[in-house]
Structure 1
Amino acid sequence: MEPEREFRVLQPIWDIIRDGREDFLGSPLFPVFISVTFYFVAVLPFMIIDLYGKEWHRVQKYKIQPNKEVTWPMVRQTIWVTFWNHVMYILPSSVAQWIWQPPIPLDPIAPPLWEYVWQISASFVIFDTYYGSIHAVFHKVRFLYRWLHAIHHEYHSPFSWVTQYLHPWELIIVGFGTTFIPWLFNAHCFTTYSFMLLNIIIAVESHIGFDFPWAAHHWFPFGIYGGAPKHDMHHYKPLTNFQPYFNTWDKLFGTYCPPMSAGGHKSAELLAFESKKRSERQKNFKNVFTVCGWLNLYVWKKLAPVRAA
C-alpha cells in the first residue's frame, strides 16, 4: 500500500501539468521550446496594440512616449533579428544539449508552496543583480556597448519585440542567467519553469512602452520595482536605470532616474533630476572652459619671449 503523501497546495496543478507528459517535460529541449513559444505569445497582444490600436484612445492614453509611433518596418526588423538569433544560435545549442544531456528527472511530488515562492523571489533578486551589473558594464565600457549592446538601443522608445532584440551573445547571457540561477537552490522543475515564464512576462512588460494602471510597479511597496516606465526611461536616457526590474542598486549607486508616466507626464522628481543634471553639465563645461583659458594664457606667456626675440 502506498504511503499517504503530505498535502501540498501546488500538487493538483503539478499533476495536471505532469501526468502523461513526463517525457516531453523532461526533455532537455523543453525549456527552450516553452521559453521561445511563450515569448512569441507574450509579445503578440502588444504588437497588435502597437500596429492596429493607434486609434484606441482608451489604450493609447497610457503610452509613455506618445509622440513615438511603432511602425511595421520597426516590428519586422526586430522580428527578423529575433528569429535569426533563435535559429542560428539557440536552436543549435538546444540540439547539442538534447544529444548530450540526459532527460531531466521529474519529481512526482510538487514543491511546498513556501519553497516555491521564496526560490522564485530569490531567483529574481539574483537575476536582477546579475544582469544589472553586466548591463552597467555594457554601458560603461565603450567597445562592449558598441559591439554587444548598441543594437538594443536602436529604439529610444521600446516596444514589445525589442525585449529580445539583442546581440546573440547578450541573448545567451540572459538565457544563461534565467536557466542556471534556479539551480543554485536545487529548485524543483516546476519552480524552474515557473521562474523562466515569469521572467519572460516581466521582461516583455518592461519593454511595452505603456504605463498601464494594472501593472506590477503600481502595487509594489516603497517603489522598489520599476516596471515599464523605468526601463522606458533607460532607453530615453541610456546611462540611467541599469537594473532590469528593481530600483535598489540604481538608487544606491546614483544611476536611478525617475521615470515618465502615462502620457509622457514628468513628475516633480524627474523635473528636479533633469534640472540637477543640467546644472552639473553647465558646471563641467565652465570648468573645462576655465582650464582651457588658463592653458591658453600659459602658452601665450611662454611664447611671448620667443616672439619678442
Structure 2
Amino acid sequence: MFTLCIYTCLSISLCFSLSHKDLNFLLKTHFGFSVFCLSLPSITLMASIIESGWLYLITHFSDFQLASMGSFLLHESVFFLSGLPFIYLERAGLLSKYKIQTKNNTPTAQEKCITRLLLYHFSVNLPLMIVSYPVFRCMGMRSSLPLPSWKVVLTQIIFYFILEDFVFYWGHRVLHTKWLYKHVHSVHHEYATPFGLTSEYAHPAEILFLGFATIVGPAITGPHLITLWLWMVLRVLETVEAHCGYHFPWSLSNFLPLYGGADFHDYHHRLLYTKSGNYSSTFVYMDWIFGTDKGCRKLKALKHNGVGVEDDSKQT
C-alpha cells in the first residue's frame, strides 16, 4: 500500500507544474521524449483535475478551515482507512504467512486502541492543528494558486524526511531512558505485537514530543498547503506500514535501501526497553551510524543461518 502510494504521490507532484525548462529536459533524450509522449495525456488530465479541485476548495473554504479541519479530516481518513484492514487481516488469519509474529492481539485490545485513538485525536491532535495554524502562516504557508512545481514539492518532501528522521531518532532514544519510558513511552509499547493503528497509540505527551519531528520541517520551509498534505499522507502511511506487523514481498523495504519498514520496527516492539534498538523513523541510517541496530542485524544473521532464537517479547 505504501509502495503504491509513493509512486502515486510522485506522479501527482509531477502534475503540479511542468515549466518550459522541464519540458526541454525531458525532450533531450529519446527515452525522455518517449516517456513524455506516453504520459502527456494523463499528466495533463491529472493536473487539470488537481487544479480544478484545489480551486473549488480555496473558493469554498478559508485558509484556516483547510489548514485545520481539512488537515484533520485528511489525516483521520488516511489513518483509519490504511490501518483498519490490518485488524481484519489479523482476526481473519489472512496472509498469515507474511505475519512477522505468530501472536495475535485480542479483539478487546484492538478495541481499546481504537477508543483511545479517537479520544487523543480529538483532544490532542485537532487542538494542535488549530493552534499551529498561525505559526505556519507566519512561516509562509499558503493555499492559493498556482500550485508549486514538482521540483519544489519533491525537494521539500525529501528535506522533511531527512530532518524528521534525525529529530525523531534522538527524541525516540530519549523516550527510552528509564524514567521517560516508565511514565510516557511505555503506553506505546503496551502492544508488543503491533498492528497498523498502534502507530499513533501513545501518551499525549509523546504525541506532542514526537509530533514536533513531523512538523518542524514544514514549519521551517513554509510550504504550500498541498505539499503539507502530501507530506502528512506519506508520513501516516509510512508509520502505519511500519507498525502493521506484516512483511510482504512488495514491502518497500525490499526495494529501497535504508528504508526500515515493518520488519525493522517490529523488532523494536518485541523487546524490553533495556534491550531495545531500532529507534529510527522512516530510514535507518541513524541506527546504522550510532550502532543501535546491532541487535536486529545479529538476530537476522542468526535466523539466516538457521539458528533458533528465543523470543522475549511481551503481549498485551
TM-score normalised by structure 1 residue count: 0.74
Contact 1:148 1:170 in 2 (8 A): yes
Instruction: Among all aligned residue pairs of Structure 1 and Structure 2, give the percentage whose two residues are the same amino acid.
Output: 27
Q: How far has the Cα of 1:183 moved from its partner? A: 3.0
What does residue 164 of structure 2 align with?
Answer: 127
Aligned residue identity for 2:115: W
What does residue 47 of structure 1 align with?
Answer: 87
Aligned residue identity for 1:235: H
Q: How far has the Cα of 1:167 moved from its partner? A: 0.3
Q: Rg: which structure is higher?
A: 1
User: Deviation per CA, 1:199-257, whole angstroms, max 9, x where unpaired?
Assistant: 00000000000001111101113xx1110000000011342101122111111111104
User: Deviation per CA, 1:167-215, whole angstroms, max 9, x where unpaired?
Assistant: 0111123333323412322322221110011000000000000001111
What does residue 186 of structure 2 align with?
Answer: 150
What does residue 149 of structure 2 align with?
Answer: 112
Q: How far has the Cα of 1:258 moved from its partner? A: 6.2
Aligned residue identity for 1:247: V
Q: Say whether residues 1:215 and 2:254 are aligned partners.
A: no
Q: Say whether residues 1:193 and 2:229 are aligned partners.
A: yes
Aligned with residue 259 of structure 2, among 202, 216, 225 = 225
| Distance of 1:21 and 1:70 partners within structure 2 | 41
Q: 1:99 to 1:233 in 2, by over 3 A?
A: closer
| Distance of 1:99 and 1:267 partners within structure 2 | 47
SS at the partner of 1:19?
A: helix
Contact 2:247 2:262 in 1 (8 A): yes
SS at the partner of 1:61?
A: helix
Q: Say whether residues 1:184 and 2:220 are aligned partners.
A: yes
Q: Say whether residues 1:60 and 2:96 are aligned partners.
A: yes
What does residue 301 of structure 2 align with?
Answer: 268
Aligned with residue 206 of structure 2, among 165, 170, 177 = 170
SS at the partner of 2:213?
A: helix
Would you say how many aligned residue pairs link Structure 1 and Structure 2? 257
Aligned residue identity for 1:234: H
Contact 1:258 1:270 in 2 (8 A): no
What does residue 35 of structure 1 align with?
Answer: 75
Q: 1:123 to 1:218 in 2, by over 3 A?
A: same
Q: How far has the Cα of 1:93 moved from its partner? A: 4.0
Q: How far has the Cα of 1:101 moved from its partner? A: 8.9
Q: 1:123 to 1:213 in 2, by over 3 A?
A: same
Aligned residue identity for 1:214: W
Q: Say whether residues 1:83 and 2:123 are aligned partners.
A: no
Q: How far has the Cα of 1:105 moved from its partner? A: 3.6
- Where structure 2 has 5 or more consecutive residues not aligned to the other structure, the ranges are 1-17, 23-42, 309-316
- Where structure 1 has 5 or more consecutive residues not aligned to the other structure, the ranges are 261-265, 276-309
Contact 1:111 1:188 in 2 (8 A): yes
Q: Say whether residues 1:245 and 2:278 are aligned partners.
A: no
Contact 1:14 1:110 in 2 (8 A): no
Contact 1:14 1:190 in 2 (8 A): no
Q: 1:127 to 1:100 in 2, by over 3 A?
A: closer
Q: Which moved more, 1:78-87 or 1:129-138?
A: 78-87
